[in-house]
A and B are shown apart, each in its own frame.
Chain A
Amino acid sequence: MKRVVITGAGTINSLGHSVPDTLEAMREGRCGISALEFRDVERLAIQIGGQVRGFEAEGRFNRQQMTLYDRFTQFTLTAAKEAIDQSGIEFHGDIAARSGVVLGTAGGGVSTWDDNYRSVYEDGKNRVHPFVVPKLMNNAAASHVSMEHNLKGPSFTVSTACASSNHAMALAFQMVRSGAAPAMLTGGSESMLCFGGVKAWEGLRVMSKDACRPFSANRNGMVQGEGAGVFVFEEYEHARARGADILCEIVGFAMSSDASDIVMPSKQGAARAMSGALADARLSADSVGYINAHGTGTAANDKTECAAVAGVFGPHADELMISSTKSMHGHLIGGTGAVELLACIMALRDGVIAPTIGYEEPDPECALDVVPNEAREAKVDVALSNAFAFGGLNAVIALKRI
């Protein structure tokens, strides 16, 4: 088996349009959640979100590209470029032929669906743009990354709701570890902050109208975000041979299915994914210093996740740090695990633990060190990133300092 390292990272989200800007915001505990701005927002009961501001797609992409790039693809391409630029990896010849793109998204081109349904149903038009289908398809982003950067190996899109990115990154990790690919572009993207996207979520009545406060006793629901995170996963020797700057090592993963309920989380399913990732990485539970929680800020997730952590880590659960950066960037649904992986990299590489902001009242059912409100300096050797999706599909990734 090969060792797998991360040599490039890119992102765009409500905290920043790049990795340095995002990490600075996380260090400062800034909140990217604010009043949503888009057509018909006044008809929504939920009017806040972690929206990407000041992103002018028109300047970045030409007219022909704009007809093909939904906002989730625009985010993905922006993040992918940053990751590849940082990595310095070049895809040509055999490397290009064997390297691919595996990305996660839950909804794909949601705003393209929304705009075109509006056009035919509300505006009564009988004709839509010829590229509606290639623009909205869930794999559009992965395909455009492959075209833009000449990645000709295994490429596809994974859709497992809120765990999409973690499932995608776990698969990319497997491909590099097995030797099937020397490098993979991976992560995920989501752009559901449009009228139809938020209206659908509203129906479940699990959204907060004012803030995302994970683990806090007065938490009252999740807040949606948008954006992308993309990484270069590369075989260790390949990265070393070309003198790449290595951000951290990926050492294990596990996936599990609750096989229980379509929306309610399961302590057992979450615990099996965390302990499975440790077993895959051949790490003991007490080596883990930081967990980037799924931490949605719903009543159900946070207490279930804390119980699962307590079960897996025993007394060490009180020693480790666990935080939810969703409090700052919101829940990016299918893209969330990718942006949250940045907090793990920051913990391992910079020794800075991103906080759980908006934390106001301790909850006895979430009695762990959730790094409330302020970032903390700490040396961390191993970090886990949790994602537990609707549908009971869980994916946890284990990372190590290098």
Chain B
Amino acid sequence: MSISDRVIAIIAEQAVLEPSDVTPESTLEDLGIDSLGLVESIFAIEEEFDISIPFNANEPSASDFDISNVAAIITGIQKLVSEKV
């Protein structure tokens, strides 16, 4: 599975949706993922890829990690995974 598919699978599970219902344009709000759900998703993604995502729930827009939609999250994770090697 590609990074993109793995991220979408995690987000879909959190949102209790089918992966096919999660599109790159979807925002977390569209998917019904609240702040607590976001923190859980980030934890699951960190575990899946063995990376650390710089995210502070107090200032979600201040960190380098863009969570504005699914595509942005996937791009951010691809970058973190590539930096890991």
Task: Using A45-B52, A203-B43, A205-B42 as known contacts, say yes or no to A299 and B58 having CB atoms under 8 A apart.
Answer: yes
Q: Mark B30-65, 1 if CB is under 8 A from A, else 0.
A: 000001100100110000000010011111001000
Inside 8 A of B43's CB, which chain A residues have their CB?
203
Size category, B interface:
10 to 19
A203 to B59, CA, bound (A): 15
Task: Using A263-B36, A264-B35 as known contacts, say yes or no to A205 and B55 having CB atoms under 8 A apart.
Answer: yes
Inside 8 A of B35's CB, which chain A residues have their CB?
264
Q: Nearest Cβ in chain A — how far from B10, in angstroms?
A: 16
Q: Does A356 reach chain B (CB closer than 8 Å)?
A: no
Please determine whether A205 and B56 come into contact, CB atoms closer than 8 angstroms: yes
A161 to B38, CA, bound (A): 23
Inside 8 A of A203's CB, which chain B residues have their CB?
39, 43
Task: Using A203-B43, A263-B36, A264-B35 as known contacts, say yes or no to A208 and B58 having CB atoms under 8 A apart.
Answer: yes
Please determine whether B62 and A220 come into contact, CB atoms closer than 8 angstroms: yes
Count: A-B pairs, CB below 8 Å: 35
Q: Nearest Cβ in chain A — how far from B80, in angstroms?
A: 15
Inside 8 A of B62's CB, which chain A residues have their CB?
220
Q: Does A221 reach chain B (CB closer than 8 Å)?
A: yes
Size of A's binding interface in residues, CB under 8 A: 17
* Chain A, Cβ-Cβ closest to B60: A299
Q: Nearest Cβ in chain B — how far from A241, in angstroms?
A: 51
A208 to B59, CA, bound (A): 10
At the interface, is chain B mostly helix, strand, loop or mixed?
Answer: loop
Q: Does A219 reach chain B (CB closer than 8 Å)?
A: yes
* Chain A, Cβ-Cβ closest to B57: A205
Inside 8 A of B59's CB, which chain A residues have their CB?
220, 299
From A45, A206, A219, A262, B57 is in contact (CB under 8 Å) with: A206
Please determine whether B39 and A205 come into contact, CB atoms closer than 8 angstroms: yes
Q: Nearest Cβ in chain B — how far from A153, in angstroms?
A: 41
Q: Mark A197-210, 1 if CB is under 8 A from B, else 0.
A: 00000011111110
Inside 8 A of A208's CB, which chain B residues have their CB?
56, 58
B binding-site residues for A, Cβ under 8 Å = 35-36, 39, 42-43, 52, 55-59, 62
A binding-site residues for B, Cβ under 8 Å = 45, 203-209, 219-221, 262-264, 298-300
Closest 3 A/B residue pairs (Cβ): A299-B58, A221-B58, A205-B57
Q: A205-B55, A220-B56, A221-B57 are in contact. List 10 more A-B contacts (CB 8 A).
A: A205-B42, A205-B57, A206-B56, A209-B56, A219-B58, A220-B59, A221-B56, A262-B36, A264-B36, A298-B58
